[in-house]
Amino acid sequence: MTVHIGVDVGGTFTDFAVSLPEKNIQLLYKLPSTPERPDEAIIEGLEYFLTNHKLDPKEIVRFGHGTTVGTNALIQRRVGKVAMVTSRGFRDLLEIGRQTRPKVYDMHQDFPKPLVPRWLRYEVSERMRADGIVHVPLDEQELKEIASTLKAANIDCVAVCFLHSHAFPEHEERAAEILRKNMPDEVSIMTSSMVYPEFREYERFSTTVLNAALLTVMNAYLDRLTKGVAEKGVAAEPTISQSGGGLMSATYSRRYPIRSALSGPAAGVLGAAYRAKATNEANVITLDIGGTSADVSLLANGEPSVVHSRRLAGFPLRLPALDVNAVGAGGGSIAWIDRDGLLKVGPDSAGAVPGPACYGNGGLLATVTDANVVLGRLPDDSLLDGRMTIRRDLAEEAIDNLAEKLSMSREATALGVVQVASAVIVKAIRAISVERGHDPSKFSLFAFGGAGPLHAVDVAKDLGIRKVFIPPNPGILCAEGLLGSDLVADLIQPSLAPFDNNIYQSLNLAKSTLDKRARDWFETESVEVESQGQGWSADLRYKGQNFELAIAFDNDQFDQASASDLRKAFDQAHEAAYGYSQSDELVELVGMRVKLTGVLSKPPLPKIKSGPCLNSIGSRKVLFGKDIWCETPIYRRDAIPKEQGFEGPAIIEQMDSMLLIFPGDRAKIDEWGNLIIVLSQMED
């Protein structure tokens, strides 16, 4: 028997999804995270399955996990000590940045302080021109002197970032070679052309520094994790979820830890895409609400959107990532009163420790979870099937403190907290839908995460969405998404050239270079030929534009005719994205990309069987709106029979989440175990 394990480490909970494909069984588990040492919760959960379910560790063939270690380290600035060596004249680029401000109308908010202080940023005489001609030779003696100086600075990593090295990395590579020879072995040397060789030097330098800063943190974490897993007898090496979707080996993650910085939300989106495809839902908006944040994404025609530029802890990050918009509106998000006297929710969170007040771990401030307890939407005795005690009295005390400042009743304040949190989420969804030309009412809402199903209907109503999908294990979907992921790598080859009659030569040269790098990756990751997948695209733009579009192609070789077809595809894509195209304008090739896939075996999605008639296990009063109290029946999720429709109000309890169906809304369970809610005011 083979065993597949997916683990998602969140800020509040660590989730496990374990698949036994031969038995068509999926086992689930959820336990509080251990923020200071996240690997401890992983090992504790692994021990639970080995002991309580008698799993054989030697039969574990997959162990994928998503982690917030890198993100949290950057936010808290608990990172390695990094020095930077750059082209003369570019020492202050990390501070100068771009003209755009984080918030246009906030004159007091500025960019965060660079991770590399000015005294650790060194200039060296060298200059490679944009056409590859050496303007100033690399001063190797200067580099040796810099290395001598850095020896006394107790540095963890040196980031080498030269101008135009994305296309011509020779100076960077030689500088790295000299530094390695003249510095202690324990000091890592990293070049910007290694991390992600894209033009735009500010973003490239920033991404390289972020990667360098995380090397020490992630290596220490992976050392503890791999050692702990191996001590349990597990032969499979842990794989790490990437920000752009898919998994990477621990070895690859040690070199490029920045690629895992946004891995948890990405795994959830892939899990939702996998389930949505099975139910023939092509257009889906995902809503993942955990303890710390709410993450939303849009899937058009079944495919998640990918962006190549994000901000992480305030710093620009130039790497492929699934287009996930995160806001501070999770279950642990703290409610507070702004200077204008208005109620706000987040982005600060109570986290796993001390957590919401109702957890009884010392939390005093009112959170979204406390509000849901007061409203009756969450039980007032326990969560996680009795493993986590809930203190209603502490939730009421926290909400009362807030209500007193607002001069409102306890119930009105709790309802306000939930409504404000939902409004924050709605705004985040509008940013990825309405602002990009998508009508959210044409999509279904796919809600998951521990708190997603509690807020799904409120959010859907505000957006005009008619149908809500909630998967069988919403609180574990990010972990489940890892079970269906493949090994993935994104490679890029810069190639700036005008799109003229000879462009096919530049296209073929770039593809040939990427082909070799692709073969090297497949060999390094031991991916068999029959499991190899490749997705190619070229970055094109009209001359003078600041941003480019990635245009997919499947040519092995280009000639003038196929290059012309690529140009036409770009015009069509530009028309779709911006509402116009200019077929007579000069187009530039900026670079070429390939997404490599090492296809892994995936456990099947289990179908549910028909069961007995629906029976409630009790009831409690729930506040659904202003003065709308309803005595609401409670059902167990695993006791709801397939295809039997029922009408709200209803509460559906399960180990990993709590589902809320409003009065008049209709619901049923489909063959895949998804709960489908059709909103009453949206019916045909």
CATH 3.30.70 fits 487-598, yes or no: no
Q: What is the DSSP string of 434-476?
A: GGGT--GGGSEEEEESSSHHHHHHHHHHHHT--EEEE-SSGGG
In the chain, residues under CATH classification 3.40.50 are 79-218
Using pLDDT thresholds of 50, 70 and 90, give the confidence band for residue 683. Answer: very low
Q: What is the pLDDT of residues 299-329, one digit of tens each?
A: 988 888 888 888 777 788 888 888 888 788 8
The residues, ordered by sequence, that sit 6+ positions from 177 with a Cβ below 8 Å of its Cβ are: none
DSSP at 367: B
Mean pLDDT for the chain overall: 87
pLDDT higher than 70, residue 681:
no
Nearest alpha carbon to residue 367 among 348, 390, 383: 348
Q: Are strands 487-498 and 618-625 parallel, antiparallel or unpaired?
A: unpaired
Instruction: Work out the average pLDDT over 208-222.
Output: 91
Instruction: Work out the average pLDDT over 488-495.
Output: 91
Q: What is the DSSP string of 369-400?
A: HHHHHHTTSS-SSEEGGGTEE--HHHHHHHHH
The long-range contacts involving 299-302, CB below 8 angstroms and separated by at least 24 positions, are: 299/269, 299/272, 299/273, 300/438, 302/273, 302/276, 302/277
CB-CB contact of 34 with 72 (8 Å): no
Report the chain's C-alpha Rg in angstroms.
26
Q: What is the pLDDT of residues 370-412, one digit of tens each?
A: 999 999 998 888 777 767 788 898 999 999 999 998 889 999 9
- What's the token pair of residue 347? 């982005």
CB-CB contact of 308 with 320 (8 Å): yes
pLDDT higher than 70, residue 107:
no
pLDDT higher than 50, residue 488:
yes
Alpha-carbon gap, residue 331 to 355, rounded angstroms: 9
Instruction: Work out the average pLDDT over 604-613.
Output: 72
* Cα diameter, the chain: 82
CB-CB contact of 332 with 358 (8 Å): no
- Point out the least confidently predicted range of 251-255, 280-284, 461-465, 643-647: 643-647
Alpha-carbon gap, residue 334 to 328, rounded angstroms: 9
- What's the token pair of residue 516? 């070799």
- What's the token pair of residue 356? 């919401």
Alpha-carbon gap, residue 500 to 510, rounded angstroms: 16
Q: What is the pLDDT of residues 63-94, one digit of tens each?
A: 988 887 777 787 778 888 999 999 999 999 98
In the chain, residues under CATH classification 3.30.1490 are 487-598
pLDDT given for residue 684 in this prediction: 41
Fold exhibited by the domain 79-218: Rossmann fold (3.40.50)
Using pLDDT thresholds of 50, 70 and 90, give the confidence band for residue 109. Answer: low
Q: What is the pLDDT of residues 10-58, one digit of tens each?
A: 767 788 989 887 787 888 888 888 877 888 999 999 999 989 888 888 9
Instruction: Work out the average pLDDT over 587-607.
Output: 87
Q: What is the DSSP string of 546-597?
A: S--EEEEE--SS--HHHHHHHHHHHHHHHHHHHS---TTS-EEEEEEEEEEE
Structure pTM? Answer: 0.84
Alpha-carbon gap, residue 507 to 561, rounded angstroms: 13
pLDDT higher than 60, residue 682:
no
- What's the token pair of residue 33? 């995270």
Query: How many Å separate Cα 17 from the centre of its chain?
Result: 18
pLDDT higher than 50, residue 153:
yes
pLDDT higher than 80, residue 454:
yes
